[in-house]
Amino acid sequence: MFSNFDGAAVTAVKDGMDEAKKLRQGELKTEHLLLALAKIRDDTSAALHKSGATEDALRKACAKRAGVSELELLNPFANSKVADGLIPLAPDVKRLFERVAVEAEGALGDKLVSSKELVLDMLGDTTCGARAVLVEDLDVDVDELRDRVNGMEKKELVGAGKKLGKKKKGSALQECGIDLCAEARAGKLDPVLGRDEEVDRILRILVRRRKSNPCLVGDPGVGKTAIAEGLARLIVAGDVPDRLKDKRVVSLQLGMLLANTKYRGEFEERLKNVIEEVKKAGDIILFVDEIHMLVGAGGTGEDGGMDAGNLMKPALARGELQCVGATTIEEYRAHIEKDAALERRFQPVRIAEPSPEDSLTILEGLKKTYEEHHGVTYAEDALDAAVRLATRYITDRFLPDKAIDVIDEAGAMVQLAAAKGSGTTTVDASHVADVVAQWTGVPVRRLSEDESSSLLNIDAQLAERVVGQAEAVTAISRAVRRARSGLADGSRPTASMIFAGPTGVGKTELAKAVAAAYYGAEKSMVRIDMSEYMESFAVSRLVGPPPGYVGYAEGGQLTEAVRRDPHTLILLDEIEKAHPDVFNILLQVLEDGRLTDSKGRTVDFTNAMLVMTSNVGSKAILSSMENGGDGSADTYARVQADVRRELSNQYRPEFLNRLDEIIVFRPLTRPEVGDIAELMLKSVRARAEARGVAVTVDDAFRAALLEQGFSPKFGARPMRRAVQRLLENPLSECLLDGFAEQGSSVSLTATADGGVSVTNGAGLVKTFDAETLGSGSGGIEAGAVVKNGKSGDELAARKNGNAVVDLPLPGFAAQ
C-alpha cells in the first residue's frame, strides 16, 4: 500500500501510529496522521504551523478527543495496554490512502505521494477527523491553510539560493515576519494586564500624522514584547481607534533578514523588498524587537555604510513605514541615541518595571494559560509567593519576567512529579519556594521542625569549635536566627560585625564555624585578606578595574563572589590593614545591601553576612589582664569600652555606626586553651585512625602540651605548634618506620626532660628527646629578648629543657 509513498509520508504513518498508541487508541486515525505530519520539518508542516496547527496544539486536541489528560501523556506507562508494532487503519485513513494512491497514478503522473497530498486530501474530506480537529478545535481557516500548502513551494527568501543571476519571486515579508494579529486570532498570545497607561501612549503615537513610530524602552523582562503582542490583541478585538482597526502587526525577524546573505547587495535587496511590501500593503505595522540591531545590520563599515537603519530612515520620515521598536535602556543609549537622525524618527515610550501588586495582577491573568499548559492548578498563595520571593531574592532580573519564570518552572516541576506518581497536581507556595531556592541558593523554604531545632541550638554547635567566646557566639547566633526566620531587614546584609580582639583567640575560626553550621560548608565563606588592599590602586580589585584596564572582563573579587553565590559569609580579615578608600566602598554595602561593580551591575548583598576581623584594641584587652582583670562581667564591660574607644579613633563614625555588632573577643585562659588542646588532639586522632592507628595520650602529656602551648598574648596558635612538636612529629616518624603498624595502637606520654615516650601495641617503647622534637618556642628563639609592648621592659627568655617558655609579663599571675 505504501510503495508509492515518499519517505516523509511513510515516516508520518509510522509516527502517527506511535502517537495513536500514546493516546491509548487501537487504530490509526486521520487526526493522528495529521499530528505526525506536523512533526516533520518540511514545507507542509511549516504551513500547518503558520495556520495554528502546531504539534503541541494538535496533540492537545487529539488527547482531549481521546479522553486522555496531559499528565497521562507524560507517563511512559500510559500506553502499556496497546500492543506493540503496527496497529490497524481506521476507515477514514483507508479511504484517504486509496484516494491519494489513485491521484498518484493519474493526475500526479506516477509521482510519489508526499505529505502535501495527504494534507490536501484531508482538507477536502469534510467527514474525516483531522479536518474536524482543525476546524472545531483549533479554529483553522481551511481555505487559508490550503492556499498556504499549495503555494509553499513557490516561496523563498529574497536573494537566497541565487544561481547564475536567476531570481525566484516570493514574499520576503512572509518569510521574515510573523503576523502577530494572526497569532492573536489563534489564541497563541498571552494577555497584557496592568499596562493601560503605556498602551494608551503607544496608541496616541500610532495615530499621529508624522513620526508615528513608538519605541518601547525599558529594562529586560519588564514586558516590552508582551505590550507589542497586546497591541495585536487589541487590534483583533477592535479596541483601538478607527484608523488602526484594519491594521496588522507583523514582527520582523532581523535574523531571517540577514540569513544566507552571502554577497554584497543581497541584504539590501531583501530589506528593500520588505519595505516595498509594507508600503504596498498599507495596513501593516512593523514590530522590530531589539531594534538597536538595525544600527549596523548589513553595513560594510564601522561608522558608515548603508546599514538597515539608514535604509529604513526615508520611509520612516515620509510616513510610508510605520514601526514599533523595543530595546533596553542601555542599548537605546548606545545605538539609537548616537544616531540622531534615526532617534528623531522614533518616539521613546518608557516601560518601567511594574510594582509587585501589578505583577500579581499579571500573574493572575496568565494563571489559566499556564494551568492548561502544565495540566496543573495554582493555589492562591503560589502566585503571591512567586512575586514576593522573586522580588526579595532574585535581584538581578525584573518583574514580571522573573515571577512568570518562577511559576512556569514550578508548574513544570509539579507536572513531572505527578507523572512519576506523586499524586498532587496543585502548585503551592512551597513549590515556588523550592524553585527560588534552587535558582539562588538561598534557603527560602519554610523551616522544618529539624531545621528549627538546629537553629535554636546553633549556639552549642558554634561553641564546640570556638572556646571561651560566649558573647561572640551568642551575637552571631542571633543574626543567623533573624535571617532564617525571615524577620531580618531585607534591605541590609544579614549581619555586619567587627570581631575585635588579640591574635589567636578564635575570630577567624568563628567565621568558619558559622559558614559550616549555617551556610553548609566552610567553602561557602568568601575570605578576603585585607593586607592585599593596603594601596589605594588595589581598592578597585574589589569591584573590578575600570574599562580599559587589565582585568576589566573578570570583574571584582568581592562583587563576583557574591554575584555567583549571594547566600554566603564574607570575611574581611584584618580590616585595619586596608586602605581608607576600602571603607568608602563598604559604606553602601552596610547601609543599602548593594554594590555596583565596574560594569554597572548592581550586586545584592542582602543575603550575605559580613564579618570583619581586627586586632585594634588588643593592647587594651591585654593591658586589662595585666592589671589584674579577673574576666568578670564588669571587667569585660570596661574592656569593651576601651576597645570601642580605640576603634572610634581608627575608623570613621559613619562606618562604625552602620555595623550591627562590635564584638570584643576575650583573651584565652589556661583552662580554655586546655579545651582547645583537646579539640586539636581529637583532630589528630581522627587523621591517625584513617591510617589505621589508634592514638591515646595520658595526663602528663596533656600537662606538657598546656605548659608549652599556653600564651595569653598569642592565644591558641602556640598550642597548635605544641601539638605539631609533641604529637605529630613523633607520630609521623613512628608511622613511617613501622613502629606503629596499621591496625595497632600507640600511647604517648611526656618525659621529665621535655621529650615524648611512645609505646606501641606490642609493648615496645620509643623515646624522643626534646632536641629531636625541635624547638617549642612558638616562634620565639631561645635566649631572645621579649618586650611586653607596654613599658618596653626586657624579659629574658629562659630555657626549660629544650622547650622555650615565655616568662609571665608584669601584672600576670603565674598560671
From residue 550, give the alpha-carbon distance in Å to each of 214, 547, 683.
Answer: 40, 8, 43
DSSP string, 524-541: GEEEEEGGGG-SGGGGHH
pLDDT score of 494 more than 90:
no
**CATH of residue 800:** 1.10.8.60
Q: Minimal CA–CA distance to 304: which of 295, 312, 313, 291?
A: 295
- The more confident residue out of 379 and 545 is 379
- Give the containing element (helix H, strand E) for 348: strand 347-350
pLDDT score of 690 more than 60:
yes
What is residue 694's predicted lDDT score, i.e. its pLDDT? 92
Residue 508 lies in a domain: yes
End-to-end CA distance of the chain: 104
Residue 128 lies in a domain: yes
Q: Same structural domain for residues 343 and 456?
A: no
Round to whole Å and give the CA distance between 602 and 539: 18
- For the chain, what percent of residues have pLDDT higher than 70? 83
- pLDDT mean over 118-131: 86
- pLDDT mean over 162-184: 65
458-465 and 507-517 helices, crossing angle to 10°: 140
- pLDDT mean over 123-142: 87
Q: Same structural domain for residues 304 and 340?
A: yes
What is residue 624's predicted lDDT score, i.e. its pLDDT? 63
Q: Give the dihedral of Cα atoms 91, 94, 98, 99; nearest 10 deg.
A: 60
Residue 361 lies in a domain: no
Instruction: Say which amino acid occupies 114.
Output: S
Residue 85 banded pLDDT, cuts 50, 70, 90: low
Residue 810 lies in a domain: no
What is residue 775's predicted lDDT score, i.e. its pLDDT? 54
Domain boundary among 664, 691, 708: 664
Residue 154 banded pLDDT, cuts 50, 70, 90: very low
pTM of the model: 0.61
What is residue 633's predicted lDDT score, i.e. its pLDDT? 63
β-strands 284-289, 248-252 pairing: parallel
**CATH of residue 298:** 3.40.50.300
pLDDT score of 378 more than 90:
yes
In total, the chain counts a number of residues equal to 815
Q: Name the β-bridge partners of 731.
A: none
Predicted confidence (pLDDT) per residue in 220-271, tens digit: 988 899 898 889 988 888 888 888 888 889 998 877 777 777 666 777 788 8
Round to whole Å and give the CA distance between 733 and 752: 21
- pLDDT mean over 763-785: 61
Q: Same structural domain for residues 263 and 312?
A: yes
Q: Minimal CA–CA distance to 753: which of 732, 765, 767?
A: 767
Q: Same structural domain for residues 263 and 136?
A: no
- The more confident residue out of 635 and 493 is 493
pLDDT score of 796 more than 60:
no
Residue 814 lies in a domain: no
Round to whole Å and give the CA distance between 695 and 674: 18
Residue 164 lies in a domain: no
Q: Same structural domain for residues 330 and 377?
A: no
Say which range, 14-23, 650-659, 667-676, 780-789, has the weakest mean pLDDT: 780-789
- The more confident residue out of 721 and 711 is 721
Residue 225 buriedness (CB in 10 A; 0-12 / 13-18 / 19+): middle
Residue 75 banded pLDDT, cuts 50, 70, 90: low
Q: Same structural domain for residues 401 and 482?
A: no
What is residue 264's predicted lDDT score, i.e. its pLDDT? 67
Q: What angle do CA 417, 71, 229 make, to 5 degrees?
A: 100
Chain-centroid distance, C-alpha 163 = 48
Please give the backbone phi and psi of residue 616, each rounded to the nearest 5 degrees, phi first. Answer: -65, 130
Reduced to 3 states (helix: H, G, I; strand: E, B; else coil), residue 89 is strand
Q: Minimal CA–CA distance to 356: which of 247, 257, 490, 457?
A: 490
pLDDT score of 332 more than 50:
yes
Predicted confidence (pLDDT) per residue in 135-151, tens digit: 888 888 888 888 888 86
What is residue 127's predicted lDDT score, i.e. its pLDDT? 83
DSSP string, 754-795: S-EEEEETTS-EEEE-HHHH---SSS--TT-EEE-SSS--EE
Round to whole Å and give the CA distance between 116 and 122: 10
Cβ(738)–Cβ(785) below 8 Å: no
Round to whole Å and give the CA distance between 523 and 328: 37
pLDDT score of 157 more than 70:
no
Q: Same structural domain for residues 191 and 66?
A: no
What is residue 70's predicted lDDT score, i.e. its pLDDT? 67
Instruction: Say which amino acid occupies 725.
Output: R
- The more confident residue out of 176 and 695 is 695
pLDDT score of 406 more than 90:
yes
Residues 6+ apart with CB under 8 A from 289: 224, 225, 228, 251, 325, 326
Q: Same structural domain for residues 150 and 179?
A: no
- The more confident residue out of 776 and 512 is 512
Residue 640 banded pLDDT, cuts 50, 70, 90: confident
**CATH of residue 52:** 1.10.1780.10
Round to whole Å and give the CA distance between 356 and 366: 15
Residue 732 sits in which domain range? 670-805
pLDDT score of 169 more than 70:
no
Q: Same structural domain for residues 660 and 675?
A: no
What is residue 627's predicted lDDT score, i.e. its pLDDT? 57
Round to whole Å and give the CA distance between 257 and 131: 34
Residue 203 lies in a domain: yes
366-370, 477-481, 485-489, 546-550 — most confident range: 366-370
Domain count, the chain: 5
Chain-centroid distance, C-alpha 654 = 33
Q: Same structural domain for residues 312 and 399?
A: no
- pLDDT mean over 309-321: 80
Q: Same structural domain for residues 422 and 468?
A: no
Q: Same structural domain for residues 400 and 291?
A: no
Domain boundary among 406, 425, 445: 445
What is residue 297's predicted lDDT score, i.e. its pLDDT? 63
Residue 360 lies in a domain: no
The CB-side HSE value for 485 (13 A sphere, CA atoms) comes to: 13
Query: Which three cell numbers, joined as nine digits, stand for 754?
Result: 621535655
